[in-house]
Structure 1
Amino acid sequence: MKAIVITSPGGAEVLKIQEVEEPQIGEDEVLVKVEATAVNRADTLQRQGGYPVPQGASPYLGLECSGTILSVGKNVTGWKIGDQVCALLSGGGYAEKVAIPAGQLLPIPHGVSLKDAASFPEVACTVWSTVFMTSKLSSGETFLIHGGSSGIGTFAIQIAKYLGVKVFVTAGNEEKLAVCKVLGADVCINYKTEDFVARVKEETGGKGVDVILDNVGGPYLQKNLDSLNIDGRLFIIGFMGGVSTQVNLVSMLAKRLTVQAAGLRGRSLENKALIVSEVQKNVWPAIAAGKVKPVVYKYLPLADAAEAHSIMESSIHIGKIMLVP
């Protein structure tokens, strides 16, 4: 089969399409013919050599996909050859075929094309596991999303609004903020021209928001703590701004704040299966109802993975960047 190979750690140009061996499936896995996959920030870090592949995972990039089941391991129940699925992956999506643990499979959401369905698994599992399962964001609360126009952000806005949450977002230009507004964001803040802490305080009567989802890391830590309400929860899922900072802990104690961080890729198969089942139960009905829609910036051929990575790293995109074998 064809797959994208990292020829050496480096820039986007190190991604090349090559003939490689087909994956062999285990007893609890299925083999899927890939219809589409998506580009995630983690892929760019892996390409640069900064994100080691988890033990036993595919060496190829790609943390989600959609496609059709070609074969089924002997222990797999509930899925059969010919089923159309989308899935959360530990790797391997940038290829024509991929082996997937059965617990990480999802049916194609009602009303969504097989191709567009590849835009959902990683963002849905990330947001649901962090913001809802762990931080317990609930109806009537307030929620700040940094990077509101990203794949994560565009999904998080929609699912939070569906669940009755007031949504704040930051983004770097007016075009991105306009899209966030259309998707349902209540308060849109241009972080380049405005102090988001002051705006959050202004919009909440000085209280702050209940939950923040952050992909910036170090430079935003103190600002995030200052932006939280009493019993507020900060969840960090990325370090685009850096990993180090100094912080005043007084507000954490005074406001009973919770700070957590987690990734998705390194979790156990059991934990991923739990998250996937919760996503199917809680998110898929919102998609079927048309309340959460795929936001796709561009589809590119798999062979153009280098261009897709360049777009991702430029941050000009809104929503997901997709690859099609």
Structure 2
Amino acid sequence: MLIHSAAGGVGSAAAQLARELGAGRVYGTVGSVEKIPYAAELGYDGVFLREGFAEPLAAVTGGRGVDLVLDPVGGPVREQSLTVLAPFGRLVAYGDLGRHEQWTASVWDLWKGNRTIAGFNIGDLARRAPERIGEYLGEALRLLAAGRIRPGVTQTLPLAEAAKAHQLLETGTGRGKILLSLT
């Protein structure tokens, strides 16, 4: 599987959860060289720069590609992700961090390559099936309590520095999870 934004809050959790769910090989992409060591500590089998990830990923998978791509970035990254999907692979879009123009995937490419694009929106899931969010959270907390996953908190800031936390998120310079402390 391939997880974009591997050093981010969701990416750091997704890698660990993928392993818990039986993923054999987990690869990630990051936006800068500085984030590679942190992402590598999370157990990725390989971490690549987001820019130009397709070629090195093809090399490590022997040209096969991956069965699943998790993409919160969008735009050209999402489009390029289709090229690294193995037959019957699925790309799951769950954000648009890059704030790119909307693009249209070629149905021909999906059909001929036996590929699928899906979307996931946690806000919509929470409205439609809040009990599922509770189930997922319960399972995540169980894994955390058992020491099978770790929270990935890399920085704690006082609430007064919330603007700084937002700046780190907006500029993509943060890594892991950033907490705001109320004490």
TM over 0.5: yes
In structure 2, the residue matched to 1:233 is: 90
**Match in the other structure for 1:182:** 41
Structure 1 position 250, deviation (Å): 2.6
Q: 1:317 to 1:221 in 2, by over 3 A?
A: closer
Greater fraction strand: 1
- Equivalent-residue separation in structure 2 for 1:199 and 1:210 (angstroms): 16
Q: Tell me whether 1:204 sits opposite 2:92 in the alignment.
A: no
CA distance in 1, matches of 2:118, 2:101: 14
- Equivalences for 1:309-320 in 2 at 5 Å? 309-320=166-177
- Selected match of 2:79 from 222, 235, 240: 222
Q: In structure 1, the residue corresponding to 2:63 is in which secondary structure? A: coil
SS at match of 1:265: helix
Q: How does 1:31-180 map to 2 (within 5 A)?
A: 143-165=1-23, 166-180=25-39
**How many positions carry a matched residue from both structures?**
180
Letter of the structure 1 residue corresponding to residue 113 of structure 2: K
**Any gaps of 5 or more consecutive residues in structure 1?**
1-142
2:123 counterpart SS class: coil
**Alpha carbons of structure 1 residues 314 and 221: separation in structure 2 relative to 1, 3 Å:** closer
Matches within 5 A, 1:209-288: 209-241=66-98, 242-269=100-127, 271-281=129-139, 283-288=140-145
Give the aligned partner of residue 99 of structure 1: none
Structure 1-normalised TM-score? 0.52
Residues 235-280 of structure 1 deviation map (CA, whole Å, 9 limit, x = unaligned): 1011122142254333210222111113112335451222321342
Distance 1:276 1:198 in 2: 39
* Structure 2 runs not aligned, ≥5 long: none
For residues 164 and 274 of structure 1, the distance between their equivalents in structure 2, rounded to whole angstroms, comes to: 21
Cα distance per residue 1:73-108 (max 9 Å; x no partner): xxxxxxxxxxxxxxxxxxxxxxxxxxxxxxxxxxxx
C-alpha separation in 2, matches of 1:170 and 1:306: 26
Q: Greater share of helix residues, 1 or 2?
A: 2
Question: Which residue identity is paired with 1:180?
Answer: A
Q: Normalization by structure 2: what TM-score?
A: 0.88
Query: Contact 2:3/2:70 (CA < 8 Å) preserved in 1?
Result: yes
User: Do the aligned partners of 1:157 and 1:180 also contact (CA within 8 Å) in 2?
Assistant: no
